[in-house]
Amino acid sequence: MNAKTTIKAAFPAAMLLFPGALPAEQRTGYGANIVPIAVYGEDNRADYYEADPVYQRLADSTAALFRARDVRLDPASGNASIDLGRTIRDKFNLGEDERYGDQPFGSFCSSFLAGEDLVVTAAHCFTEYAPEDTNISYRDTVFVFGYAVTRAGAFPTEVPAENVFAFKELVSARYDKDGADYAVIRLNRKVPAERFPLAVNRGAAPAAGARLFAIGYPSGMPVKIAGSATIRRVHADKGFFVSDLDTFKGNSGSPVFNADTMMIEGVLTRGGTDYIHTESDGTVYYDPRRPGGYSPGETYVLGQDEGRGEDVTLIGRLKDFLPVTEFERALLEAEKRNVPMRAPSLRDSGVVPAVYRPGEQGGAFVPAVYYPDENDIPEPTILSI
């Protein structure tokens, strides 16, 4: 191939556009004590319907973990009904102004698609590894894709039966309460091609300051995207890094992406206090077991640089169990050709590179460009090398 050959198959002439970005999030108040927390600075979570299509496509490749008994297949309708619990506000006894307080809960952990029939989650989600935390076996777990709020107020009570997968085989797992914590699980069948396996970083561990976002199911709610976070410090010897992601119990197993490469850097493993309850005498209770016995609580919030941080298992600890995906190859090819791949920003303006996956039945990922302002869209270009 000569130096000026036009690459049309991999890089379309008209760069396809992703309209709409994640909205600016409402700023919440700060707490007084520096203790483990769920939200750092602004609450940067967004529902599926609020998110940029790039995030939506990535979210499509995540699955919520449910007890098998809570998901019932109906062969007649071709759907699976989900037994959802009370609202988050009722379950955790939260105040009327609590964000997402009217949403239901149902799942107990998060996962992501890493191969055509492989998912990754956290080992501590299962009683085989953390009986002090849960009594749910991986054999009694189903993995549900598409557990999302696709429009305001429309909480999912069922999904297509084809979105529900059962456990088949444990490929690899490790549980260290002070280090790496992951499980690689083979599903009972292949996931349809429209939900693509995600890309992982097989190179050097990320450095402090790297920009991050996570996708998962906080507090058992439908999927949320949490961005505007960074790595605080890396404990490579112990197999994890510390971040300031806005994640909660239920996010365990969430993929944590590098916002500048679109590759997964790790698996959400441990976090701090989610909700606090403050009594009239000033006494504060952190995630009490029976929150109904206290005054209504709220999400615990500190400054972006305060608190313990959220722990993320380095993906390098399990990369040998994960196949190289089509998405990963495309991102590496883009990097090779100096095409920047970057997640749409929560706040930045201007041109932000993104990704696009053409076709209903699969196909290569190609670079695309996201323009927040339609007036800034340039004339179609052709990439030549």
Task: Find how far residue 380's CA is from the centre of its chain.
Answer: 33
More confident residue, 362 or 21: 362
The mean pLDDT of 272-295, rounded to a whole number, is 90
In b/e form, how buried is each residue of 242-266, taking b as 16+ CB within 10 angstroms? bbbbbbbbbbbbbbbbbbebbbbbb
- Average pLDDT, stretch 6-17? 25
Class of domain 39-370: mainly beta
The tokens for 77 are: 């309708």
Number of H helices, E strands in the chain: 3, 23
Q: What is the H or E stretch that residue 220 is in?
A: none
Residue 42 pLDDT level (bands cut at 50, 70, 90):
low
pTM of the model: 0.80
| Predicted local confidence at residue 48, as pLDDT | 92
Q: What is the CA radius of gyration of the chain?
A: 21
Domain ranges of the chain: 39-370
Answer with the residue of higher pLDDT: 180 or 14.
180
Token code pair at residue 159: 């999904």
Contact 70, 170 (CB under 8 A): no
Which is it for strands 118-121 and 181-187: parallel, antiparallel or unpaired?
A: antiparallel
pLDDT higher for 337 or 102? 102
The CA distance from 230 to 149, in Å, is 26
- Please state which of the ranges 221-225, 232-236, 339-343 shows the lowest mean pLDDT: 339-343
The bridge status of strand 164-175 relative to strand 158-160 is unpaired
pLDDT of residue 350: 32
Name the residue among 355, 340, 324 with its Cα closest to residue 202.
Answer: 324
pLDDT digits (tens, 9 = 90+) for 50-88: 888 888 899 999 999 999 999 999 988 999 999 988 899
Residue 53 confidence (pLDDT): 82
pLDDT above 50: residue 30: no
Residues in the chain: 385
Nearest Cα to Cα of residue 184 among 245, 115, 274, 268: 115
